[in-house]
Amino acid sequence: MSGSSPFKMRLVHLDLKGAPPKVSYLAEVFPLFHALGANGLLIEYEDMFPYEGHLRLLRAQHAYSSSEIKEILHLATLNELEVVPLVQTFGHMEFVLKHEALAHLREVAFFPNTLNPHKAESLALVGAMIDQVMELHPGARWLHVGCDEVYYLGEGEASRQWLQQEQNTKARLCLSHVKAVASRVLARHPATKPLVWDDMLRDIPEDQLSASGVPQLVEPMLWDYTADLDVHGKALLMEKYRKCGFQQLWAASAFKGATGVSQALTPIEHHLRNHMQWLQVAAHGPADTLQGIVLTGWQRYDHFSVLCELLPVGIPSLAVCLQSLLQGGFAEDVKTRVENFLGMPSLEITGFTSEGAASFPGSDILALVTQVGLHLRSSVDEMLHRDRYVTGWFSSYHRRRKLIHPVMIQHIQPQALSLLGRWSALAGELEAALRRVFYPDAVEEWLEENVQPSLQQLQQLLQDLGEAAGPEPPVASPGLDTGQEP
3-state secondary structure of 290: strand
Q: Angle at Cα 276 formed by Cα 270 and Cα 277, nearest 5°?
A: 90
**Whether the Cβ atoms of residue 259 and residue 267 lie closer than 8 Å to each other:** yes
Q: For 161, what's the count of Cα atoms within 13 Å in the CB-facing half-sphere?
A: 4
Rg (the chain; Cα; Å): 27
What are the angstrom distances between the C-alpha of 474 and each of 401, 405, 408? 10, 7, 12
Size (the chain), residues: 486
**What distance in Å separates the CA atoms of residue 395 and residue 385, rounded to the nearest whole number?**
9
**Whether the Cβ atoms of residue 87 and residue 42 lie closer than 8 Å to each other:** no
For strand 40-44 and strand 82-86, is the pairing parallel, antiparallel, or unpaired?
Answer: parallel
Cβ neighbours for 358, distance < 8 A, ≥ 6 positions apart: 316, 342, 343, 344, 366, 367
Residue 149 bears catalytic tag:
yes
- Is residue 196 within a helix (H) or strand (E), and if so which, with residue range? strand 193-197
| Number of Cβ within a 10 Å radius of residue 236 | 12
**What distance in Å separates the CA atoms of residue 322 and residue 274, rounded to the nearest whole number?**
12
Q: Could you say which of 68, 149, 239, 445 is catalytic?
A: 149
**What distance in Å separates the CA atoms of residue 282 and residue 279, rounded to the nearest whole number?**
5
Cβ neighbours for 32, distance < 8 A, ≥ 6 positions apart: 315, 319, 341, 360, 361
**Closest to 205 measured CA to CA, from 247, 231, 243:** 243
Cβ neighbours for 138, distance < 8 A, ≥ 6 positions apart: none
For strand 249-256 and strand 82-86, is the pairing parallel, antiparallel, or unpaired?
Answer: unpaired
Q: List active site positions.
A: 149
